[in-house]
Structure 1
Amino acid sequence: MSLRPSLLLLALGLACPPLLADAQTPYKSAQEILKASPDADWRTLDPANTLYMELPAGRVIIELAPRFAPAHVGNIRTLAHEGYWNGLGIYRSQDNFVVQFGDSSEDENQRKSIGSAQKKLPAEFERDAGGLKFDALPDSDGWAPEAGFVDGFPAARDPQTGKTWLAHCYGTLGAGRDTAPDSSNGTELYVVTGQAPRQLDRNITVVGRVVQGMELLSVIPRGPEPMGFYDKLGQATPITAIHLASDVAEAERTPLQVLRTDSRTFSAATEARRNRRDGWYVHPAGHIDLCNVPLPVRPAKAG
């Protein structure tokens, strides 16, 4: 039995609707998609969850992640409110890895007081996935069963254990610790400035991410000592202050909006990056890594 040509074409069309749709749908770049995005797809940073790190070269803006590390974020808020980091410095800059800041004094008696902040905190490497909207990427991840985003933060999830955690991507802010898992309290912090060190996932408490100002951290001179530490105190980059945005006068704030990772705009822009079909690309990848997904930021609109 044979099909007439018209019926054969119809059968092929029904069997391959995605291919026909891709060929017929005009490609829009991520930039075009963002330009047409509705205001509802953006959210303004909460001043109570935003840190301003004031360096001689400018301001670094950090969003904290209280739903993943409530104890650490609470301590960091206290430390910032009481001016703990003011006058300290960035004492480590390791190539293709991190910058680290806090009090570098080795003598416990000379270390700066942490005021009313807690000295001891529980490790907050992961949490129950329940109650969190997880926007999963369609591609496999070498570090976790699923990768995606929660509240604008790169995250991973294991459906079998019911656990989720924040991923170490470029710009991630983490709490440095000693050998004991519960030896971090948020006084010593680091920012990832190199290729995503995902092996650190679920081994260190992640407390947030830099949303603006990475260009100020990534150019800090590399430390000459092993692991990027400086061998002279004067080599450290001084920290003028680290404030909560809520402690800064409104006129002196930098109001920013980030694209909602649960929005249609974010999904469409990510797919446009995942499958580049503009004139330059010969072979669209059909894949995107969690830490290669851009997280757009813009100035908040007045009013």
Structure 2
Amino acid sequence: MPVLSPLRTLLPALLLGLAAPASADDAAGPPTTQQVLDASQPSDWRTPDPANTLYMDLEGGRVVIELAPAFAPEHVANIRTLAREGFWNGTSLYRSHDNFVVQFGDADADEPALAKSIGSAKSALPAEFERSARGLPFHPLPDPDGWAAEVGFSDGFPAARESAEGQAWMAHCYGALGAGRGMEADSSIGAELYVVTGQSPRQLDRNITVVGRVLSGMELLSALPRGTGPLGFYETEAERTPIPSLRLASDVPEDERERIEVLRTDTATFDAYVESRRNRRDAFYKRPAGHVDLCNIAIPTRVPSDGEG
């Protein structure tokens, strides 16, 4: 079911904004990304709700996914039911499309078999491509966007909207979790999911239901071998990556849960973080860009210090 059914030592620091200031003058200037994060307070961070967090356990480690019920409530409810009833346990990642997505679910189930395997989950859902922006928390970015009148973040999720009174939707940024569908807009039930692993395919915004995003473990997905079949599907079962377990964090014993915090996107610290990405002041950068795209704002996560979470 497709979605439509060397500078080796410098590079890590540059990507993360960790390069040290070149001089005392630089150090006295606007803070770098790392300096912003180092100066953050416990109140600048939040702990994801275990009831809306998925753990995909693979042989190589764990992928942590946060669901977005504010944008796709019916899909998220179905996904929670499917996870609680073990639908994905023993299925696989069966597609890895270069510079696009990886996809997972039951690769061999036809429609009758799928209907029998989803347990008490709903067998039909409405398309949830967008929702009203009214009442939706929205922290806008200062720069224009080519895909929407306004972009920003809503409770940590990259989002866009027409206006405060118009429609809003989640954006297809790197790490976004979407619900694969066929040609009909309402043909998804959340059983076949994909994660964006390539350059952000924003043309899919408002065309597919986005249900969440990966918080950690993206390296386990983006490094999968590319599928050799059409659209990146694996041609043999042996090529697939098994999923031994996919569970809600709330169904995992508390002492086995991931200790993870996410930078809040509605604070002055976040505004400073965005500015550090818009106008890079690291020693490597000679000309700050003065602009940042929505999908270039990677939301930091961290393991809380002892006593903080």
After TM superposition, the score normalised by the length of structure 1 is 0.90
Q: Which amino acid in 2 is paired with 1:297?
A: T
Equivalent residue, structure 1, for 2:46: 43
**1:108 Cα offset (Å):** 3.5
2:57 and 2:246 in contact (8 A); partners too? yes
User: Which structure's CA Rg is the greater one?
Assistant: 1
Q: Which amino acid in 2 is paired with 1:154?
A: P
Mean Cα deviation higher: 239-248 or 112-121:
112-121
Equivalent residue, structure 2, for 1:258: 262
SS at the partner of 1:78? helix
1:91 counterpart (94, 101, 122): 94
Q: Distance in 2 between matches of 1:181 and 1:107?
A: 19
1:276-299 Cα distance to aligned partner (Å, 9 max, x none): 133321111000010001201011
Equivalent residue, structure 1, for 2:277: 273
1:254-278 Cα distance to aligned partner (Å, 9 max, x none): 0211000001111101101101133
1:27 and 1:277 in contact (8 A); partners too? yes
2:133 and 2:164 in contact (8 A); partners too? no
Q: Distance in 2 between matches of 1:168 and 1:24?
A: 36
Equivalent residue, structure 2, for 1:298: 302
- Give the RMSD, CA atoms, in angstroms: 1.6
Q: Distance in 2 between matches of 1:78 and 1:286?
A: 44
> Any stretches of 5+ residues in structure 1 without a counterpart?
1-22
Q: Distance in 2 between matches of 1:181 and 1:25?
A: 53
Is 2:206 the partner of 1:197?
no
SS at the partner of 1:288? coil
Is 2:274 the partner of 1:284?
no
> Any stretches of 5+ residues in structure 2 without a counterpart?
1-25
2:125 counterpart (121, 127, 132): 121
Is 2:150 the partner of 1:146?
yes
Aligned residue pairs: how many?
A: 281
1:53 counterpart (51, 56, 70): 56
Cα 1:282–1:73 change in 2 (3 A) is same
1:24-74 Cα distance to aligned partner (Å, 9 max, x none): 972210100101101001101110010000111110000000000000000
Mean Cα deviation higher: 258-267 or 103-112:
103-112
Equivalent residue, structure 2, for 1:78: 81
Q: Which amino acid in 1 is paired with 2:252?
A: V
1:44 and 1:300 in contact (8 A); partners too? no
Q: Which amino acid in 1 is paired with 2:117?
A: S
2:133 and 2:165 in contact (8 A); partners too? no
Q: Distance in 2 between matches of 1:46 and 1:134?
A: 19
Equivalent residue, structure 1, for 2:171: 167
After TM superposition, the score normalised by the length of structure 2 is 0.88
